[in-house]
Amino acid sequence: MNQPTVSKGWTVLALLALLAVPVDAQVKDYRDIKFPKLPEREVPRPEVHTLSNGLQIFLLEDHELPLIRVTGRIRTGSNYEPADKVGLADFVGQVLREGGTRSMDGDAMNDYLESRAAFVETGMGGDVGTASMNCLKEDFDDVLAVFADVLRNPAFAEDKLALAKQQAKTRIARRNDNIGGIAGREFARLIYGADSPLTQMTEYATVASITRDDLVAWHQRYYHPNNIMLGVVGDFDSIAMKSKLEAAFGDWPKGPDANLPEIVVNEPEPGVHFIEKNDVTQAYVRLGHRGIRTDNPDYYSVQMMNEIFGGGYAARLFSNVRSKKGLAYSVRGSIGSGFLREGIFSVALSTKSETMGASIDALREEIDAIVAAPPTGEEMARAKESILNSFVFNSTSMSQILGQQLTYAYYGYPADFLERYRSGIEKVTREDVARVAKEYIHPDKLVTLVVGKSADFDRPVS
């Protein structure tokens, strides 16, 4: 078979052309590559309406797929349950759906929804109750009827409550199996206080004290239309959807406003604490103190500081504690924030038992350094680029966008919170980061917690 040929003359010319190109034009340092600024994406906003009974609805059309999703926020939460009945709110969130309604028991509801490839779910967080449904557009009316029935007429079946209580007792029995779980739980109790509503724990006695009547009373106290927000996203017409929601919920009478009490976060007492756990080869170390609220004017500067301090592979904690000193596979640290109250400033790692003391020293050195040493220009550029480039992932779907809008509205934050976040990050300077590190990180107020096997430590906990 004849093969194509290239004349020697052309080959020589091609080689000469390549040699004529400067070396630095062929190989360019990645740090010198300039990328164009990402275009700003306009995030759609849902229509917002309030029904005559106070129920707020957020409507966001998305005709890409023949699906409709409803997400609900109920003004309640486990942080507001009585101390002698801890676990009650979680049981409400679970049995509200699993226990069925007065017209359809939970098992029949499972079959009904499964035959339509739909779901209805309920749950409970610390400061919010949740409810959601998802279905094909063609099944929406049927599934909405079930969803409304669950919210309005739960049966709280005794057998489903008994099952939920048994599951809770199993969780109590196993909650000390995981060293990280112990550290996270007990560190929060040290920061917020063991008696705080934020850290109260379900116990066998509190589980035993909870009855079906307690669940009914909780529902009657909080589950009213004027305490609920519903968001709908999917393939629908907004005018028609508003009418459907009015038909499903409009005759639900208003009830008392939730009026959830403010939970005050006190300043924790500095100190060193240790929990013995003899069946582990790792020590879990955590240091920190009280953080900030999300509505703090310095929020954006704090987020930049977090990125530089503990935000990833290039952050100071990872670079120095993991990569250079080899003391931990994973290390993290940040000033946490909360929508309603202060979060927690926390620096944490797990390490070999034999390097527990060295790890504490390394973490304290990094905490001192972030307060004392302002960020470099390179750190600022990398942190800002990282945060802004990840911004696009905050709105990857219409469902995610709707969920964010519900959250902001529920906690009283502006609808353009995300847009403000982006512009706020862009304006942060080196001086801002240096200032907030000094203002919000206090090495002299640290709470230190170590969990592990003390016999294997390199030194006593101190």
Q: What is the pLDDT of residues 163-185, one digit of tens each?
A: 999 999 999 999 999 999 999 99
SS3 category, 113: helix
Question: Once rounded to an integer, what is the mean pLDDT over residues 317-321?
Answer: 93
Report yes or no: 88 and 81 within 8 Å, Cβ to Cβ: yes
> Residue with structure tokens 């809770």?
168
Residue 42 pLDDT = 75
Q: What DSSP element (H or E) covers 273? A: strand 271-276
Whether residue 25 has pLDDT greater than 60: no
Question: Once rounded to an integer, what is the mean pLDDT over residues 361-386?
Answer: 96
Question: Once rounded to an integer, what is the mean pLDDT over residues 321-333?
Answer: 92
Q: How far apart are CA 258 and CA 453, in angstroms?
A: 46
Mean pLDDT estimate for the chain: 93
Q: What sign results for the dihedral spanned by CA atoms 426, 432, 436, 439?
A: negative
Question: Once rounded to an integer, what is the mean pLDDT over residues 99-123?
Answer: 98
Lowest mean pLDDT among 19-23, 244-248, 283-287, 403-407: 19-23
> Residue with structure tokens 């639900």?
252
215-243 pLDDT per residue, tens: 999 999 999 999 999 999 999 999 999 99
Confidence of residue 2 (pLDDT cuts 50, 70, 90): very low
135-161 pLDDT per residue, tens: 999 999 999 999 999 999 999 999 999
Confidence of residue 394 (pLDDT cuts 50, 70, 90): confident
State what percent of residues in the chain have pLDDT above 70.
91
Confidence of residue 15 (pLDDT cuts 50, 70, 90): very low
Q: What residue ranges do the domains of the chain occupy?
A: 47-249, 271-408+422-456
Whether residue 109 has pLDDT greater than 50: yes
**Domain 271-408+422-456 indexed as CATH 3.30.830.10:** yes
Residue 106 pLDDT = 98
Q: What DSSP element (H or E) covers 185? A: helix 179-192
339-373 pLDDT per residue, tens: 999 999 999 999 999 999 999 999 999 999 999 99
Residue 12 pLDDT = 47
Q: How far apart are CA 462 and CA 457, in angstroms?
A: 11
Confidence of residue 388 (pLDDT cuts 50, 70, 90): very high
Residues in CB range of 366: below 8 A, 6 or more apart: 309, 316, 317, 320, 321, 333, 347
Residue 1 pLDDT = 43
The arrangement of secondary structure in 47-249, i.e. its CATH architecture, is: 2-Layer Sandwich (3.30)
More reliable by pLDDT, 17 or 43:
43
Question: Once rounded to an integer, what is the mean pLDDT over residues 87-92?
Answer: 99
Q: Burial level of 414, CB count in 10 A (0-12/13-18/19+)?
A: exposed
> Residue with structure tokens 């079959």?
111
State what percent of residues in the chain have pLDDT above 90.
86
Whether residue 10 has pLDDT greater than 70: no
53-67 pLDDT per residue, tens: 999 999 999 999 999
Closest by alpha carbon to 118, among 94, 139, 95? 139
Question: Once rounded to an integer, what is the mean pLDDT over residues 195-208?
Answer: 97
Q: What is the DSSP string of 308-351?
A: HHHSSTTSHHIIIIIIIT---S-EEEEEEEESSSEEEEEEEEEE
Whether residue 314 has pLDDT greater than 60: yes
Residue 350, strand partner residues: 284
Task: Assess whether the region 47-249 and the region 271-408+422-456 belong to the same CATH fold.
Answer: yes
Report yes or no: 73 and 127 within 8 Å, Cβ to Cβ: no
Question: Once rounded to an integer, what is the mean pLDDT over residues 114-118?
Answer: 98
Confidence of residue 395 (pLDDT cuts 50, 70, 90): confident
Residue 312 pLDDT = 79
Q: Which residue type is seen at 24?
A: D
Whether residue 104 has pLDDT greater than 90: yes
Closest by alpha carbon to 144, among 54, 48, 215, 236? 236
